[in-house]
Amino acid sequence: MTKCYSVEFFTDSRPILYFPKDNDFDQPIEQVAFGSLVTSAKVLPHERKKKTISISTALKDFLHIPNIPLRLHLFCHHQTFFLGPIVGIFTAGFTRGSKLPLGNRSYQFAKFFSVGHRVGVLPILFGLQHIDWDKGLVRGYYFYQNRWMEMSVPLPNIIYDRLPNREVEKLKKIKEAKGKLTQEYVIPSFNPGFFNKIEIYKKLTQNTKTKTYIPKTIPFQKEKDVKMMLDEFQCVYMKPNEGSLGNGVYRIEKEGKDLLCSFRDKKGNNRIVKFSSIKRLLHLLEKKDKGEYVIQRGIPLLKINGCPADFRVHTNKGKDGKWYVTAIAVKVANPLGATTHRLSGGSVKTVDELFPDQREKNRNVFSLINAALILSKELDKRYHERLGEIGFDLGIDEEGNVWMFEANSKPGRSIFSHPDLSKNEQMIRKFLLSYSVYLTEQFFLVPEKFFEKAIQHASFTANSP
């Protein structure tokens, strides 16, 4: 792991950089780079045991290094010093003015910036409209002294993709910009897409270790598919193949000759409707929802006060590039809700609240952690994009078996509204930015891997609808 230092500036019309003497480089340094910009410079060690990176104003101005308190890593590669990394948080939905550039979503992103200083990265929040391709700059947003400020920096070293939804992701201009950043500029990005349920289930059922966690899930094509699954399992869920937040999810259960269907209507109300046949039930679905659906086996879950509970388990890659579990929350369903999502009236609790008995808690938490890490590693191996975080919806059945219902490549943050989970949210931000440092270092050590990934991404994108 590279070392991280505070940055200071001094007045000089020449491009000069002084670095701490404890760095032993076996090659003469002739250039300095910051993000996508690079220039020749005079690079020397400090004469004294100074633990800072000192940069002349001339070099600062040329490389567009912002005049704010910075702590950055120092990477050395091919006779060039790379300062950074700049981590671009790429999203959409910007408003006019800089007070709250993303409306209420601004608060969520603001929390990254204080963590960035501690980890030794410069985060920049930006969208498509903030890129100046001709100059190789991004005029994005930085949160400093409790306010948002606009700031121009070079194109980033790493991109953390936080596009808000699939509709935005599919826009032609967004796809073109992402392609240009990752393929032409070869800027590594992570979590650049939304998971497709059927695709994920197919990948995870190819391995015997992960297959045991996956409830039977099939694409919905005809009425007989629903009948077959209900005959086999008595209770099933129908979900949009590309849905999120519990939208469009239907819980269907046999009750004698009838069917009970639980769902959240378009006004946000939980409803339970009885149908005399599958055909009538599907007629309701056809009216309400378009697009591909999957049918998934219903699992009899652990309950709190008679209400089913599942778990959001958050995994992240750390500063060593390995997977870790960073948060586990319990999600309890509303008695009338089809899912445990908060939009359906669900509530968030901690594992301590669910398992007051320490032995029972330890046993179940171990099972959840073990499952989440196995699933993360397998998805990482089989998925065509680079992953740095995953949010799993896992369940434990009445016999203690763990099941995976969904994997999310852009996990929400609603579980962190629970006061006892706020520290986990801070840990996740630290992991995300620390992983960005790891990626930057790997880019210099084994660049061929990143070019291979860029080629794979281009091939996948070309074959995507």
Q: What is the pLDDT of residues 305-355, one digit of tens each?
A: 888 899 999 999 999 999 999 999 999 887 655 555 555 557 899 999 999
Task: Answer with the one of 67, 84, 101 that is the final residue of a domain.
Answer: 84
DSSP at 346 = -
Per-residue pLDDT, averaged over 204-210, amounts to 96
- Bridge-based pairing of strands 16-19 and 307-317 is unpaired
Q: What is the CATH number of the domain that holds 350?
A: 3.30.470.20
Among candidates 192, 280, 194, which has minimal Cα distance to 240?
Answer: 194
Reply yes or no on whether the pLDDT at 376 is more than 80.
yes
* Contact between 26 and 56 (Cβ < 8 Å): no
* Contact between 275 and 261 (Cβ < 8 Å): yes
Total of domains in the chain: 4
Co-location of 358 and 441 in the same domain: yes
Co-location of 224 and 292 in the same domain: yes
Task: Answer with the one of 297, 315, 338 that is the final residue of a domain.
Answer: 297
For residue 64, give every residue at least 6 positions away whose Cβ sits within 8 Å of its Cβ, in sequence order, or none: 34, 35, 37, 137, 152, 153, 154
State the Cα–Cα distance between residues 239 and 248, nearest whole angstrom.
6
Domain assignment present for residue 205? The answer is yes
Domain assignment present for residue 374? The answer is yes
Domain assignment present for residue 461? The answer is no
Per-residue pLDDT, averaged over 274-286, amounts to 85
State the Cα–Cα distance between residues 219 and 328, nearest whole angstrom.
29
Co-location of 95 and 132 in the same domain: yes
Among candidates 380, 368, 408, which has minimal Cα distance to 197?
Answer: 408
Co-location of 10 and 79 in the same domain: yes
Per-residue pLDDT, averaged over 432-443, amounts to 96
Co-location of 25 and 96 in the same domain: no
* Contact between 379 and 407 (Cβ < 8 Å): yes
Task: Answer with the one of 245, 275, 297 that is the final residue of a domain.
Answer: 297
Supply 112's token pair. Answer: 């990254």
Reply yes or no on whether the pLDDT at 448 is more than 80.
no
Q: Is 95 helix (H, G, I), strand (E, B) or coil?
A: coil
Domain assignment present for residue 457? The answer is no
**Strand-pair partners of 270:** 264
Q: Which domain holds residue 311?
A: 197-214+300-445
Co-location of 336 and 384 in the same domain: yes
Q: How far apart are the first and last CA of the chain?
A: 40
pLDDT of residue 464: 53
Q: 85 preceded by cis ω (within 30°)?
A: yes
State the pTM of this model: 0.91
